[in-house]
Every structure is written in C-alpha cells, then in structure tokens.
Amino acid sequence: MDKTESVKQFPDGFFWGAATASYQVEGYNENCDWALAARQGKVPQAGRLADHYHRFEEDFDIAKELGHNAHRFSVEWGRIEPRDGVFDEVEIEHYREVLRALKKRKITPFITLWHFTLPLWLSEKGGCEHKDFPKLFARYCAKVVEALGDLCEYYSTINEPNVYATHCYLYGTWPPFKRASIFGIKVGKEDGTSERTGSRASFWNILAYYRVVDRLARAHNLAYDAIKEVKPDANVSVVKHVHAFDHNGKVFNKLRAWVMTCFQTYFYMDKVRQKLDMIGLNYYRHTKYGDTQSYLLTDMGWNINPAGIYGALKILSRYKLPIVVAEAGIADRSDRFRADYIRIQVAAMHKALEEGVDVRGHMYWSLMDNYEWALGTEKCFGLVEIDYQTLKRTIRPSAHYYKKIIQKNAILE
C-alpha cells in the first residue's frame, strides 16, 4: 500500500445498503392523496413506475449482488388500511413476503411506516391537520408492527416531518397544496410545480405548518408507545432530514446557521427526543453562510457537497443516540459524479465515527430510479437505472464502486 493511502475501517456489523419508498417505486398505488392529485393533473402521474410491487425479488437479487446487507423501504398506509380502521390482510401478507425475501438474502430490513403519502380516507378528513391524526397514526403503526414484528426489528415512524410540512403547507407543491405568504410575499421559490397545483397563498398556512409539525411530533410519540406495547424490543426511530447549516466564522453567519438549524432540526427533534431508540438521518443539502466556494450541481440543482454529511451527523449527535444514515444520494443521470459522491461521503461519515458519533449504517438513496414527487421520473437517484418502457434494470458503474466499500467494510483513500 502506498504510504499516502490510509484505510478507514468501519465497525463489524455496520449496515450498508440502499433505500426506497413505496409510492416512489411500487407502482399502481391508487388509494392515496398523491394518486388523486395525479388524476387531477396537479402532480405527474406515477402509474406502473418500476413495478417494484411485483418485482421485489428481482430487485433484492440485485441488492444482494451489490453486497448490500441492509435495506430500507416503506409500507404503503393506503394499501394496509384502505378504509378508516379496516386493515387489508392480503396487503399485509404482501409485505410479509417482501420481508421474507430480504431475510432469505440475509439483508436486514428497516421499515418506514409512513413516507409522505396519506390514504385517501384520511386526506379527505384533513390529513395531518385532523385533530385525531396522532391517534390514527399510532393505531396504524401498532397494527403494522404487530403483523410484521416477527420478521423485522427496525421501524421508523415518519419520514422527514419538516420536509413534508414545508412542501405541503409552506410551498404548496405537495397535497394538500397549501402555500404560505408573509405580507403578501409567497414562501418558497417558483420551480414550475406550484403553478400546476393551483395553490393559493395565505398567511394562515404558516400556522397550519406549525400545527402540522406539532401533530407529527405527537404522532411519533404516540406511535412509539403503541409500538412498544405490541413489540417491546422493536427499535423505533424517526427519519429526520438535516440540512447542514454552516458558517464562515463571522458572528452574523454563525447566528444565521444556528437559527436555521433550530428551525429545521432542533425544533422537531426536541419534541420527540424522549421517544427514540435511534435516529435516521437523511442528508442531501449543505449551506455555508459566507461561503465563497462554488460547487458543481446535481440534476436537482443542489450543490454537490457529500462531505457536508459530517456536519449533519454532528448536529444530530447532541441527542446521544445511535444514528443510521437512512438516505443520502445524488440525482445524477449520467453517473459521472455518483462514485466520488459516495467515496467522499463515506469518508466524512467515518470522520464523525472516529470523533465518537455512533453511526450504525449507511443507506444510499436510492436502490433504483424512482418517482421524484412533484418532479416525476426525470431525476435519477438510482444505483440501478430503470427503463420505464421495458422495466429493464441496469446496474450503474457507481454501484460497483459502492460494493467495493461494502465488501471491505472500509474505504481506502
């Protein structure tokens, strides 16, 4: 080995894999608010997508071939509870099949109980704004964990509460399309999707935003207790998107970074910190106030800064809990940047680990190309490319690079 090279070894049992979410890959999920919005022309049609619902065995063969030992996926609330309080045993059996398929391949499952899409009956009642939302959510979570508990140990209640509330109640780009404004100025930048949704901006939606964030905290806390009742040994987490805010040392920029971190991360996490066994971190974005550096951009138009995950891990480390990176990835159709993105990110994660942050795993987003919400299927985050006409799966070269890291359980720099 060259003297300048160093090996960054990860602990035994470190989880390596990729993540997906039901609405983004399964296909034909018609009983939810997103499907209704698509029928109304407010968001792109999803349709068959990668047809993961029927092809999960094939997809898990690929994950296995790529060396993954863990896999994060979500179960679809509208499939499992199609009507208020009515649970569909056939759909539950489907997810038991999915879990068995993972077990057979020695891939540890991480289930997300709710990843953005609401069953129609619940969205018609007012969704997260309904006063009973926390109770209804806890009932659903307990039912799922009771039914799947013998096949899975790890459960995340909610995926990215703040991102959800921001898109739904501040930007108005996701159902129920409520947009906020302050003194007549609309919140959020125009990305072309808000016109399609026909949302009308109002100051009151700022209050709706706070109400929803608060309900999502209560929903998590109630669900935590409900899950523990049916499966005391379940490992329960929330998946938090952390936008890593940094500064150039100037007092004003320090203050801005702190305020934004409080608003986007601590505000929610402080409400749920007593009811967590672990934290899932989703990392995509980094902002350094006073930064003069320029960055390459992902296909989403986001700065490419994989090392920023270090800051996000440090932000969450104040809760003194194990952390699993539940999502981190890049939209890069050409696959030009992905391998480097992964290498730099894994090295940054190792640095946090060396400094005592209890990182337990890394799930790349995403195993395969998928439906990127209001932006449709154009953005390609996948380790595996999907041809939506033929459903052919093609492994991208960067996936093989990730496999090398996984096989060594280390990164060679």
The DSSP output letter for 391 is -
User: How far is residue 344's CA from residue 349's CA, in Å, rounded to a whole number?
Assistant: 9
User: How far is residue 32's CA from residue 115's CA, in Å, rounded to a whole number?
Assistant: 12
Residue 29 tokens, joined: 């999920």
CB of 284 to ligand BGC, least distance (A): 6
Q: Measured between alpha carbons, how far is residue 21 from residues 14, 115, 116, 247, 327 in Å?
A: 22, 6, 9, 33, 11
| Candidate list 327, 342, 353, 399; residue touching ligand BGC; CB under 6 A | 327
Using the minimum distance from each CB to ligand BGC, give the nearer residue, 160 or 246: 160
Q: Measured between alpha carbons, how far is residue 33 from residues 43, 126, 217, 250, 333 in Å?
A: 11, 11, 21, 45, 28
Give yes or no for residue 21 binding ligand BGC (CB under 6 A). Answer: yes
Please give the helix or strand (H or E) that residue 73 lies within, else none.
strand 70-74
Give yes or no for residue 33 binding ligand BGC (CB under 6 A). Answer: no
User: How far is residue 389's CA from residue 367's CA, in Å, rounded to a whole number?
Assistant: 19
Give yes or no for residue 282 binding ligand BGC (CB under 6 A). Answer: yes
Using the minimum distance from each CB to ligand BGC, give the nearer residue, 21 or 347: 21
Using the minimum distance from each CB to ligand BGC, give the nearer residue, 17 or 226: 17
CB of 243 to ligand BGC, least distance (A): 10
Give yes or no for residue 76 binding ligand BGC (CB under 6 A). Answer: no
User: How far is residue 101's CA from residue 192's CA, in Å, rounded to a whole number?
Assistant: 40
Using the minimum distance from each CB to ligand BGC, give the nearer residue, 282 or 345: 282
What does the DSSP assignment read for 186-205? Answer: ESS---SHHHHHT--EETHH
| Candidate list 52, 94, 186, 241; residue touching ligand BGC; CB under 6 A | 241
Contact 22, 329 (CB under 8 A): no
Contact 79, 399 (CB under 8 A): no
Give yes or no for residue 26 binding ligand BGC (CB under 6 A). Answer: no
CB of 71 to ligand BGC, least distance (A): 15
Give yes or no for residue 160 binding ligand BGC (CB under 6 A). Answer: yes
Please give the residues from 359 up to 398 whose contact with ligand BGC meets the rule CB under 6 A: 365, 372
Give yes or no for residue 305 binding ligand BGC (CB under 6 A). Answer: no
Give yes or no for residue 332 binding ligand BGC (CB under 6 A). Answer: no
CB of 282 to ligand BGC, least distance (A): 5
CB of 305 to ligand BGC, least distance (A): 15
> Where does this chain bind ligand BGC (CB under 6 A)?
21, 24, 159-160, 163, 241, 282, 284, 327, 365, 372
